[in-house]
Chain A
Amino acid sequence: MTGRLMSSKVMINLIAQIKMFFRSPGSVFWTVAFPVLLILLFGAIFSGTGSTKYSLYVQDLDGSPISEEFVDALNSTGVLIINKVDPGIDSDQYIKDNSIASFLTIPQGFSSSFLPEPERQNSTLLLRIDNSSSSSGTVATIVNAASQSINLELAGGSIVVSTAILGISNTAQYNFIDFFLPGVIGLTAMTSTVNWMVGLQTRYRQNGIFKKLATTPITQMDWLVSLILWQIATVFMSVVIILAVGILAFDVHLTLDPISIGIIVLSSALFSAMGLIIARFVKDEETAGAAAGAITFPMMFLAGSFFPLESMPPYLAAIAKAMPLTYVNNGLRDSMIYANTAGAINNLLIVAMLTVVFMVVGAAISTWKQE
């Protein structure tokens, strides 16, 4: 079987495609530069840099001069933008409605922690933060530091004011970049293979190379096998680059286990086949890019590459269920960040099934023959 699969014709075409790939700046862009740009761009937007300020919503239930002074102290760190929230508001509802990432509640009786002994009473600041927001760690550190300094000043280090931290969304133990990277991998596996396949198939059909190939003993199958093998290899190049950038620039913690590797291999084949199918309906090379984009762009946004599906309105989430990329993304997240093996295998099986279907259809409708 492998002997048949790796016939000399497959090897020759594979080597030729590799040479041409590295001689063409366009294909290198989609494989290397595109995912790196995505990570850096989104990384910068969502994790912020040193000069960025973080929003903190503060609900002061104490309403005393002392609590106000504490808020001023937080403000004077220069890192936080303090938004005061009316004490009468239901905080849980407010956080939900406004998608707030950091919410601090100053309890009633906070000022009594500042009374001299023996009236002094301990109090607890309640900080609710969304752990998937990349600013959460910074905010928690600042609030903690502020309460620590009160403790030092008032009680020589023994705890009078403590901070309780609650997660806003209880699934989140990872940060945004951790969540985002598997999405970038799925996205790159899709865009680079679909674009490359559609462009290449359309170009060769149009400029007569397929006609010339049809006069030689290379078969349609040899051709497709070598292209798909090469696409798997390019996707792995992308994965290595994506992980390297993620680790170096954002200190991500992801595992590349056999399941995620399996999903990556299958998705490369799946999206190559999708490219074959799209190419069949594209007339000329000029429209190839547009056709590839018309399919990949909506998928990119709807299949949860950038945002969790749970945060989408239900009708969009329903559409997402119909998109192969959704299962690639879910499977990669299950295996790479959540360590959810059962979920990962489930998605792997769905991706495998879709791959078979797309490959069969793709191979069946691709032809070198003319009427």
Chain B
Amino acid sequence: MAESVITVQGLVKRYGDLTAVDHIDFEVYRGEVFSMLGPNGAGKTTTVEIMECLRTKTEGDVTILGMDIERKVRDIKKRIGVLPQDFNAFDLLTVKENIEYFGGMFKHQLPADDLIETVNLGEKRDVYFKNLSGGLKQRVGVAISMVNDPDIIFLDEPTTGLDPVARREVWEVIKDLKSKGKTIILTTHYMEEAEVLSDRVGIIDRGKFITMGSPNDIIDRYGTGTTMIVRGGDDTALQRLQGLSSKVERKGNDIVVRLDSKDVLPEAIMRIHEEGVHYEEVQMRRSTLEDVFLTLTGKRLENGEEVKKGKRVKK
């Protein structure tokens, strides 16, 4: 079992009457990317900022690298790197000057040029921060979060508000950090981001984790399984498939089959791949975290906003 670098037990944060974080427990292991996935106001920022010693907790125990967050603030700061939500650096300093500025705050710091290399900003080295696009600003933020060569890096919504291309560029940088052995705590409202980047995901809603595990495990557990779509399948195909699964529907020219498990997939293909059965093509669609979120909360998640769907009533 991997070494645990963060432990959170019974963490509660109240703002007046509002309980923003409601008794959560989790651990983060060395070298993994752990994502907190949830809608606006779920309590992601509150939780990570308590771990970063930026906010005070109401109840519970939190340790970072074995150190208590209330008693070892100075030591913890030296060993973590933080990209706060809505990050900004100094507008009128250049990329390099900004990295050097924050580096200078630490005794032990990495050379600015190496970091610029890591986040692939070589051409923008001498550009004022205010003149960078959103995606580039976030990459500067990631570089700055690494200036002290931290063991743990917190990235609070590193891609919110970015266009898809810029988002993927930030993903590459994060993958690169992971390959360097950093432990990363990431918050996001993008299902795809959590799926692509994380080793483990905790889905958080209203201050509570509603499930936690590797993206695959979660999808297997709460997803709608694997869906096979047989384009242009004829009635013979329909009959043959009905013998395999109870959830077979005709939708226009297509046949939609819900497979109970991936294991029955070869069998399904064999049944229609026979003399006398006609179809055009077969498509597979696997459940995503999006489906999981819908199953668990009855809500869809679009850009961080919860959308209530159809007749589903929230629990």
Contact = CB atoms under 8 A, between A and B. Distances in A.
A4 interface: no
A77 interface: no
A363 to B, nearest CB: 19
A9 B105 contact: yes
B94 to A, nearest CB: 9
B77 A212 contact: no
B106 A217 contact: yes
A344 to B, nearest CB: 39
Given A207-B88, A215-B80, A217-B105, A370 B55 contact: yes
A212 B88 contact: yes
B89 to A, nearest CB: 7
Contacts of B128: 23
Interface string B127-138: 010000000000
Residues of B in contact with A, size category: 20 to 34
Interface in A1-56: 8-9, 12-13, 16, 19-20, 23-24
A16 B90 contact: yes
B88 A215 contact: no
B104 A217 contact: no
A369 B54 contact: yes
Contact of B77 (A20, A217, A371): A217
A21 to B, nearest CB: 9
Contacts of A370: 49, 54-55
Interface in B73-96: 74, 77-78, 80-82, 84-93
B97 interface: yes
Nearest to B105: A216
Interface string B181-194: 00000000000000
Interface string B113-142: 000000000000000100000000000000
A369 B50 CA distance: 11
A19 B49 CA distance: 31
Contacts of B74: 217
Contacts of B85: 208
A212 B82 contact: yes
A208 B86 contact: yes
A20 B92 contact: yes
B195 interface: no
Contacts of A23: 92, 128
A212 B87 contact: yes
Q: Which of A20, A215, A216, A369 lies at the interface centre, i.e. has the most chain B CB atoms within 10 A of its CB?
A: A215
B149 interface: no
A285 to B, nearest CB: 12
A211 interface: yes
A247 interface: no
Contact of B93 (A16, A208, A214): A16
Nearest to A370: B55
Contacts of B102: 212, 216
Nearest to B147: A216
Contacts of B87: 208, 212
Given A19-B97, A208-B84, A369-B55, A9 B89 contact: no
A209 B101 contact: no
A8 B101 CA distance: 11
Contacts of A218: 105
Nearest to A222: B105
Contacts of B106: 216-217
B52 interface: yes
A214 B92 contact: no
A368 to B, nearest CB: 8
Instruction: Among A9, A24, A208, find the residue whose CB has the most chain B CB atoms closer than 10 A.
Output: A208
A211 B15 contact: no
A162 to B, nearest CB: 66
Contacts of A217: 74, 77-78, 105-107
Contact of A214 (B15, B54, B101): B54
Interface in B46-67: 49, 52-56
B55 A9 contact: no
Interface in A161-211: 207-209, 211
Nearest to A8: B104
B78, B87, B90: which has the most chain A beta carbons within 10 Å? B90
A43 to B, nearest CB: 34
Interface string A200-240: 00000001110111111110000000000000000000000
B110 to A, nearest CB: 14
Interface string B25-60: 000000000000000000000000100111110000
Contacts of A215: 52-54, 77, 80-82, 84
Interface string A71-110: 0000000000000000000000000000000000000000
A208 B74 CA distance: 20
B111 to A, nearest CB: 16
B43 to A, nearest CB: 14
B101 A16 contact: yes
Contacts of B101: 12-13, 16
Given A16-B97, A19-B92, A217-B74, A211 B104 contact: no
A363 B144 CA distance: 27
A211 B156 CA distance: 12
A371 B55 contact: yes
B15 A212 contact: no
10 contacts: A16-B97, A19-B97, A20-B92, A208-B88, A213-B105, A216-B102, A217-B105, A217-B106, A369-B54, A370-B54
Q: Which 3 A-B pairs have the closest CB atoms?
A: A216-B105, A215-B82, A12-B104
Given A23-B128, A215-B52, 18 more contacts: A9-B105, A19-B92, A24-B92, A207-B88, A208-B85, A208-B87, A212-B82, A212-B84, A212-B88, A212-B102, A215-B54, A215-B80, A215-B81, A215-B82, A217-B74, A217-B77, A371-B55, A371-B56
